[in-house]
Structure 1
Amino acid sequence: MLVGATARDVLLTHVFGLEVRRATHDVDFAVAVKDWDQFEALRTRLITSGTFKDDGRAKQRLYYKGESGEYDYPIDLVPFGEISKGSDEVAWPPDLKTIMNVAGYEDVLAAAESVEFAPGFVQKVVSIAGLAILKIVAWSDRGRENPKDAQDLIVIMDSYAYAGNFDRIYDVDGVIEAGDNDPDAAGVYLLGLDIRQVASANTLNVLTQIIERDFDRLSTEMVKPLRYLENVEERVTSRLRLLQRALT
């Protein structure tokens, strides 16, 4: 399943024709595996194909050989599923010191979109609501070092009304009213409702705890790429509150 910012670009830009403020060159794939042996077997097959090479440092990263013949496209593989042994985390062997939060991955796989990239080539892509789930979790996991997940979240929130959802804003009971008749704000509320449909009870609890605990820090990071806009702090804060309200 394609996840991360590339999934954002595929859906928002290439499917719905929306402009994305932050470009990305990273490609993230989430792979459902039962254990580390199965994950390593996958990595080995990719590397021995000659099309990928090992990063040598980051345990989840490979590099894809592009048209230039150089290995210049970073690919991250995120293992989830049975490998987590019922936990929301996976710990990378051998020292188990590298830990990744995979809360919500099984939920978003069940709701993933099928996108045809070329005739006959169909790939699972995380839905936009599913991507919002993963972005909130990822920001909680690594937000102090890297604010990109918070910045991606505000892009998703600002775009949701126009990503195939405009009619639904008026058709779903209470949505346009929740946004005070502002379609952009109503889109954020609808996003929260859609997240509720995708997320399990456990994942929903994780999301609401993150937002409640770290609301101020999250909203501050979301504002940073938009500081040039008038009243942006108030707008971002009110819309994050609206998302929070829809989740509860």
Structure 2
Amino acid sequence: MTTSLDVSEKLPKGLVEVYSQIHGIAAELSVPLLIVGATARDIILVHGYNAAIERGTKDVDFGIEVQNWEHYEVLRTALIEAGFTPHSKKAHQLDTTDSAGLPWEIDLIPFGEVSDDHGQIAWPPKQDILMRVLGFDEAYRVD
């Protein structure tokens, strides 16, 4: 069973701008993505069901389905060339501002062929930073 929620005209303008820009670049590169984390929760609960949940940050987590780390880097580089700023210490984070000048933190979390059988990724170059992406593949494939 599929349930659709109408969140038209309910999302913050800045979120729509950021999502549209990232989605457009990812689509040009044929890189599938989905929104995950607290933003995904808010889209469903706050904007879909009018739940009262308060958030303090403007960050958006994107699951990025890639075949390898080079594929991930192609998207990251394209976003930087489009004006996103890489975070100095977090390889997965890019920063941007919307048309109102509000800051947004963008986390690009790769999944797919870069994750192991336990749903974990190890960030290059040293593979010493580990992150769980368990369930990303399944969430992306839900009809």
Tell me if TM exceeds 0.5: yes
Q: 1:10 aligns with which of 43, 60, 65?
A: 43
Partner secondary structure for residue 83 of structure 1: coil
- Kindly state the Cα deviation for residue 53 of structure 1 after the two structures are TM-superposed: 0.8
**Distance in 2 between residues matched to 1:38 and 1:83, nearest whole Å:** 10
Q: 1:62 aligns with which of 89, 94, 103?
A: 94
**Distance in 1 between residues matched to 2:55 and 2:115, nearest whole Å:** 31
Q: 1:84 aligns with which of 93, 115, 122?
A: 115
Residue in structure 1 matched with residue 125 of structure 2 by the alignment: 94
**Distance in 2 between residues matched to 1:81 and 1:74, nearest whole Å:** 23
Partner secondary structure for residue 91 of structure 2: coil
Map residues 1-248 of structure 1 onto 2, 5 A cutoff: 1-50=34-83, 52-69=84-101, 72-111=103-142
**Distance in 2 between residues matched to 1:106 and 1:43, nearest whole Å:** 20
- Kindly state the Cα deviation for residue 75 of structure 1 after the two structures are TM-superposed: 0.5
Partner secondary structure for residue 84 of structure 1: coil
| Higher strand fraction (1 or 2) | 2
Q: Which one has the largest radius of gyration?
A: 1
- Is the 1:6–1:28 contact (alpha carbons within 8 Å) kept by the matching residues of 2? yes
- Is the 1:5–1:24 contact (alpha carbons within 8 Å) kept by the matching residues of 2? no
Q: Letter of the aligned partner of 2:113 in structure 1? A: E
- 5+ long unaligned stretches in structure 1: 113-248
**Distance in 1 between residues matched to 2:49 and 2:88, nearest whole Å:** 37
Q: TM-score normalised to the size of structure 1?
A: 0.42
1:20-70 Cα distance to aligned partner (Å, 9 max, x none): 1444421100010000000000000000012x1101210110012222457
Partner secondary structure for residue 2 of structure 1: strand
**Distance in 1 between residues matched to 2:69 and 2:104, nearest whole Å:** 24
Once superposed, which parts of structure 1, at least 4 consecutive aligned residues long, lie more than 3 Å away? 21-24
**Distance in 2 between residues matched to 1:25 and 1:65, nearest whole Å:** 10
Q: Equivalent pairs: percent with the same residue?
A: 38
Residue in structure 2 matched with residue 240 of structure 1 by the alignment: none
Partner secondary structure for residue 74 of structure 1: strand
- Is the 1:6–1:27 contact (alpha carbons within 8 Å) kept by the matching residues of 2? yes
The two structures, once aligned, show a CA RMSD in angstroms of 1.8
Q: Letter of the aligned partner of 1:53 in structure 2? A: T
Number of residue pairs matched?
A: 110
Q: Which structure has more RCO (C-alpha within 8 Å, separation ≥ 6)? A: 2
- 5+ long unaligned stretches in structure 2: 1-33
